[in-house]
Amino acid sequence: MAVRVSPRRCAVGATAAIALIALLGRGAGAVVVGGGGSLATDCLAVFDAPANYPADGPKQVRCVDGDPTCDSDNLVDGVCTVAVVVCVNSTAVGGCTLAGVDSVTVDHALDNGDPRFDPDFQAVQNRIDNELNLPSSTADVCTLTTSIRVPIKGPIGNNRCSHRTKKLKLETESDLIQGRRYIDRDTLRVTCYPAPANGCDPQTLFAGTFDRVQKQIFNQSCAVSSCHDSNAQAGGLILEVGATPGNLIEVDPVNAAALGAGWKRIDQSSPTAGSPETSFLYRKIMGDLPDAGYGERMPLGRPRLNGTLRDLIEAWIGAGAPATGWVPGTY
């Protein structure tokens, strides 16, 4: 692990640089993070990111939602959008004599049913594949910036929130050196903390009740790899942005038992009223299904959704599952 001011990159953000001048007492620039592993191989791939923790040798990004030094959208929106660059053959890591990278593989970047697949990691891998022209022995070759988006946890309960961390992991292989291949494993931890003022207020973070359902439930627990994303379409159901709520309201479920019982995915009696008890989506989330023919509780193989979120979706469906506006009791 080594940290230096990048000799090459200074585009990650002037604001980030200003914060780091005080931190490092050096010239302007983003922070190169070796990412861990043996010092001898650490220069093969490095991160260039607004790292700020620990203060005496930053190797992680700890970001408060909306902080312009690390959250590039500069908005309190419940998500830290952190600009990350990957460089190979770095000259900013001391003590490393290797040069020549054969391949860089990002963990959880393949949409192949991996439950921890993350589209942001896929975007990093695409940048590496498209922009670095590997294999390469050229010094300090970098991708352009990719946004790693880390949502905070919550709001749940009485509008409580907490931080969440994503770990961006790389495995970098050197070219063959006298018949031997060296591997550099790097991890960048990116943590997002709620903003101190209003940072956990649903009406600050979301545009309305359905937006909250989409972002806090569907995006995080349902529209994930091998489940209800468009590549897997489990049960013929997609819960990605744009597919919902049109594919839910008054639409017949695929499940034969639920269909036979006359349920809908969301049973909407009018635009302002609905019935959670005959809405298959709600019953699957609750897990109180009449018999095995109705299938498993959702999210499959994951913990039950938090009580606040179960109440959220019940109130939303009960109010007729409106696409916009706030349903009382959901903020």
Partner 1 sequence: MAMTRRDFLKRAGLVTAGSFIGPGVLGNPFLRKALADTIGDRYFVVLFLDGGNDGLNTVVPVSDGSGTLRQDYEAARESNGSGGIRLLTTDLASTWIGTDPGTGAQLALHPAFRNATTGGLHRLYQEGHVAVVQGVGYPKPNLSHDESRGKWETADPLGINGFGTGWLGRYLAANYVGTDIPAFCVRGSIPGDFAQNATSILATSRLESFGFPYDDWYPGDWAAHENAFDALYTEAAGSAQALLKYTGDVGRATFDATQLFPQLHTQYATDRSSWSATYNTGGPNGTGTSTSRNLREVAKVIYGMKSGLFPTLNTRFFEVRKGGFDTHSDQGGAETTGQHYRLHREVSDAIEVFYEDLEDMGVANKVCIFVWTEFSRRIPQNANGTDHGSQGPALLIGGTVVGGVYGKHPDITPSVVENNDGNSPYLQGPVSTPFRSTDNRDVFGTLLKHWLMMPAANIPAVLPLDPTGPSYDPMDYWQTANFDLGFLP
Smallest gap from Cβ 72 to partner 1, in A, equals 6
Residue count, binding to partner 1 (CB under 8 A) = 37
Which of the residues 127 through 186 are near partner 1 (CB under 8 A)? 127, 129-131, 133, 144-147, 149, 179
Q: How many CB atoms lie within 10 A of CB 195?
A: 23
Instruction: Give the whole-angstrom CA distance, residue 201 versus residue 205.
Output: 6
The DSSP result for 92-115, as a single string, is SSTT-----EEEEEETT---SS-T
Q: Does 247 bind partner 1 (CB under 8 A)?
A: yes
Smallest gap from Cβ 149 to partner 1, in A, equals 7
- Name which of 197, 234, 203 is nearest 115 in CA terms: 234
Smallest gap from Cβ 158 to partner 1, in A, equals 27
Q: For tokens 């109440």, what's the residue?
A: 311
325: left (phi over 0), alpha (psi -120 to 50) or beta: left
Which of the residues 60 through 79 are near partner 1 (CB under 8 A)? 72-73, 75, 79
Phi and psi angles of residue 7, each rounded to the nearest 5 degrees, phi first: -80, -10
Smallest gap from Cβ 57 to partner 1, in A, equals 29
Q: Does 250 bind partner 1 (CB under 8 A)?
A: yes
Which of the residues 271 through 300 are near partner 1 (CB under 8 A)? none
Q: Does 7 bind partner 1 (CB under 8 A)?
A: no
Q: Does 220 bind partner 1 (CB under 8 A)?
A: no
Residue 130: CB partners within 8 Å, gap ≥ 6?
A: none
Instruction: Give the whole-angstrom CA distance, residue 58 versus residue 286.
Output: 43
Please report, as ranges, the residues that interact with partner 1 according to CB under 8 A: 72-73, 75, 79, 81, 111, 119-120, 122-123, 126-127, 129-131, 133, 144-147, 149, 179, 229-233, 238, 240-243, 246-247, 249-251
